[in-house]
Amino acid sequence: MSAWLFAFLLQASPNLVPEGFIYLRTTAETCMRRLKSRARGEETGIELQYLQTLHDKHETWLCPQGFANHSGHAQNNTAACNLPDLIKGHVLYLNNDRVSALKNIPALVLDYNDDIDLEADVQAKERFRAMVETFVDCISETQDLETIHGSDKHLPSFARLRQWSDWYAAHD
């Protein structure tokens, strides 16, 4: 989405500002292998170059200094010092000059390449679930503190994600 369109949407509806992002980071080659293994009709014809372009755009947006340096970038945000150890090395804070509403929005970056098979590796699946849950809890706690301290930001809650997480845990 272009910056001007996102800015217009935020102006029309300020509650559209996301509380955070979860970025399942993978290579274009891994995405292509997964597309081929799924063999979905609607995914035929997607080319590797298209996936690479999407990957590059996400990297530029979510990891502008590169993934290796993201934890140092996260420490520039005061909320970073309060991150639980489980996610501390996986969270960065966006610094998007084109869309001011996206400044300091946290992003949980999870590497999700070929060596991880969530269908077969129950421990990896549980680790990802715990990291997402911890991230959501951390954002919720931050919002609660902002409310207590009188912040005028009004953000939607992660309640639906929490309900999904609870349902998933009960049906797993």
- In the sheet with 21-25, reading across from the earlier edge strand, the strands are 21-25, 106-111, 91-93
Residue 121 inside a domain? The answer is: yes
Any domain includes 10:
no
Give domain status of residue 117, yes or no.
yes
The tens digit of pLDDT for each residue in 87-96 reads 998 998 887 6
Q: How many domains does the chain have?
A: 1
Q: Is 7 inside a domain boundary?
A: no
Average pLDDT value over all residues in the chain = 76
- Can you read off the two tokens belonging to residue 117? 């098979």
Note the pTM of the prediction, 2 decimals: 0.70
Specify if 1 maps to a domain: no
Structural domain harbouring 162: 17-171
Whole-number Cα distances in Å, 82 to 29, 148, 156: 35, 17, 21
